[in-house]
Chains A and B, each alone.
Chain A
Amino acid sequence: EAGVTQFPSHSVIEKGQTVTLRCDPISGHDNLYWYRRVMGKEIKFLLHFVKESKQDESGMPNNRFLAERTGGTYSTLKVQPAELEDSGVYFCASSPDRVLPTDTQYFGPGTRLTVL
């Protein structure tokens, strides 16, 4: 079974540019999550999709970030325009129908974003 995949693995852009990150969850997983780790800080929750609906977007930092999950399969996270403080590693995770909060969230390898 293929795991969660993320593309690209690295992205280097200049301040003011737009970047789109993609996440392909494990096939059949309805739940998809985005997290972010800024250098030296803890991994922080951004948002949670159930199929194509946003269940919780309380962690989205501001309106420069737009997440979509059309058709309830893959998801994209767009940052427009990017700022220096957006640099970090963006993780995607997915999980099947959840009975308990500890039902596993499977994480992807992350996309390392550098904004110059």
Chain B
Amino acid sequence: QKEVEQDPGPLSVPEGAIVSLNCTYSNSAFQYFMWYRQYSRKGPELLMYTYSSGNKEDGRFTAQVDKSSKYISLFIRDSQPSDSATYLCAMTSYNTDKLIFGTGTRLQVFP
């Protein structure tokens, strides 16, 4: 069983839609949760991170962590064509720098 599960998509939505991206995980030691965005032929770029449970908002993006359910989400409001990319969740525990990634969800926002 993978430590992190993520639906690979693709997810296709119209411009302006609210997008929900999700990951589940099995390792209860994970404390730090991140979302990376990766454009085609580029490296992953950190979008948001949260520590333990709770919500964090940054502009059109909101990250949520529910440790009791081992479930994390990224919401994108008012999605734009420029948001079209692969979104990767990643997580790690306190005493390591090793990031554990999901497989990524490919998102396409069409005008």
When the two chains form the complex, which single residue of A31, A98, A104 contacts B46, counting CB atoms closer than 8 Å? A104
Complex: A15 Cα to B92 Cα, angstroms = 34
CB distance from B70 to the nearest CB of A (A): 17
A105 in contact with B98 (CB, 8 Å): no
B34 in contact with A43 (CB, 8 Å): no
Within 8 A of A (CB), among B13-41: 31-32, 34, 36, 41
Complex: A58 Cα to B104 Cα, angstroms = 23
Q: A100-B32, A102-B49 are in contact. Are A43 and B96 (CB under 8 A)?
A: no
Q: A56-B96, A109-B43 are in contact. Are A43 and B49 (CB under 8 A)?
A: no
Within 8 A of A (CB), among B43-68: 43-46, 49, 51
Complex: A55 Cα to B98 Cα, angstroms = 10
Within 8 A of B (CB), among A65-116: 91, 93, 95, 98, 100-102, 104-105, 107-110
Residues of B within 8 A of A40 (CB): 103
Complex: A99 Cα to B90 Cα, angstroms = 18
Interface of A toward B, CB cutoff 8 Å: 4, 31, 33, 35, 40-45, 48, 55-56, 58-59, 91, 93, 95, 98, 100-102, 104-105, 107-110
Ranked 6 nearest A-B pairs via Cβ: A107-B43, A102-B49, A43-B101, A45-B98, A42-B103, A42-B101
